[in-house]
Structure 1
Amino acid sequence: MNQKIGQSHVFVFDHVECNYGGAYSNISGIFTAPKSGIFAFLWTIMAEGTNDGTGQNYGEVDTELVVNSEVRRRAHADTEVLYDDGQATGFVIVHLNQGDLVFIRSQSVPQGNLQVNYRGGWTFSGWQIA
């Protein structure tokens, strides 16, 4: 990602492996519950420390899974070494009503690069379990 990302930025996962029922929009980054039930969500994030000339621009990103306007869980990836990668995964099980909106957003302004490479990257998965 080569753009500046601010606080409360909704992340869009534009590469979709499967989207049975079309509940996830790779335009808005929002999952809309197709019916009421118990859902599981899993997301992975990755940050890379880069050299910005100050030697202090390490990779760090705070994310939160939001249901409608309520934060349900957070995931934090952080590097404290230049050119290091930091990765984290969040997982939550929630009850959703039909039409509820679920998305991943930044909790604060990220540092460094938000990375996708051969070591890892960003993923978002959601599925109904009951």
Structure 2
Amino acid sequence: MLGCRRKRTVFQGRPRKRRFIAQENVAGALVRPKPIRTCSNNPYFGSPQRLRFPKQTIAFHVALSTSKDVHDSTIVYDQVKLDTGHGYNQGDGIYIVPEAGTYVFTWTSICNVYDVFQTVLAVDGAQRGSSFKDARDRNVAELQQTTAVVILVLNQGDHVFIRMGNVYDHGTFISLPMTYGESTFSGWKLD
């Protein structure tokens, strides 16, 4: 049985232009070398100018740093955890689509005890998704959580944001990562 190790071989005292894999048997005797195939997806062999690196995925993930009482407005997630496409503005809470394509958006809202609210995913002001949570049960004093997922085809420059809904337009978002969890907003482009 042959035990293979990769190493560069030298012929007639000088390295050859082509790289080879030399195989050694258990006794250490060289077996006929085989040329290495250079290809664009093999980062270990081949010239660097021929390597192709994968395109960076466009994605963002933001959260509320603390609990926040919101009244009839856009929810501004002030803690940016990831933003590879540089589209999220933490000053106004709006994500500007960096390039056209199909995107997945998800948001999680934690509702305060005895509170009720609706959140809406809006694209250029038009409602494209919604989520509703009702924690008004007076017999159970606990926080309630809701998560929604929306898949959309968007154009470059579209404005995407989460705002309070028309039905229940105010509420307290809980964001206590060490105890109860975070209210978050995320999105990524499907390649």
After superposition, residues 10-25 of structure 1 pair within 5 angstroms as 10-25=74-89
Matched, 1:100 2:158: yes
Within the candidate set 100, 110, 114, 1:46 is matched to 110
Q: Which residue of 2 aligns with 1:119?
A: 180
When Rg is computed on C-alpha atoms for both structures, the one with the higher figure is 2
Q: Which residue of 2 aligns with 1:85?
A: 143
Please state how far the C-alpha of 1:67 moved relative to its aligned partner: 0.6
Q: Which residue of 2 aligns with 1:52?
A: none
| Structure 1: runs of 5 or more not aligned | 50-57
Question: What TM-score does the superposition give when structure 1 sets the normalisation length?
Answer: 0.84
The one-letter amino acid paired with 1:88 is T
Whether the 8 Å CA contact 1:65–1:104 is kept in 2: the answer is: yes
Q: Which residue of 1 aligns with 2:169?
A: 109
Give the SS at the match of 2:118: strand
Whether the 8 Å CA contact 2:108–2:146 is kept in 1: the answer is: yes
Give per-residue Cα distances to partners, 1:19-59, cap 9 Å, x unaligned: 1121111111000011110000000001112xxxxxxxx21
The one-letter amino acid paired with 2:152 is V
Give per-residue Cα distances to partners, 1:48-83, cap 9 Å, x unaligned: 12xxxxxxxx21121000011210110112212353
Q: Which residue of 2 aligns with 1:55?
A: none
Q: How many percent of aligned residue pairs carry the same amino acid? A: 31
RMSD: 1.5
Question: What TM-score does the superposition give when structure 2 sets the normalisation length?
Answer: 0.58
Whether the 8 Å CA contact 2:68–2:174 is kept in 1: the answer is: no
Structure 1 stretches of 4+ with a deviation exceeding 3 A read none
Looking at structure 2, the residues matched to 2 and 22 of structure 1 have their Cα atoms a distance apart, in angstroms, of 25
| Structure 2: runs of 5 or more not aligned | 1-66
Q: Which residue of 2 aligns with 1:75?
A: 131
Whether the 8 Å CA contact 1:59–1:110 is kept in 2: the answer is: no
Looking at structure 2, the residues matched to 116 and 21 of structure 1 have their Cα atoms a distance apart, in angstroms, of 25
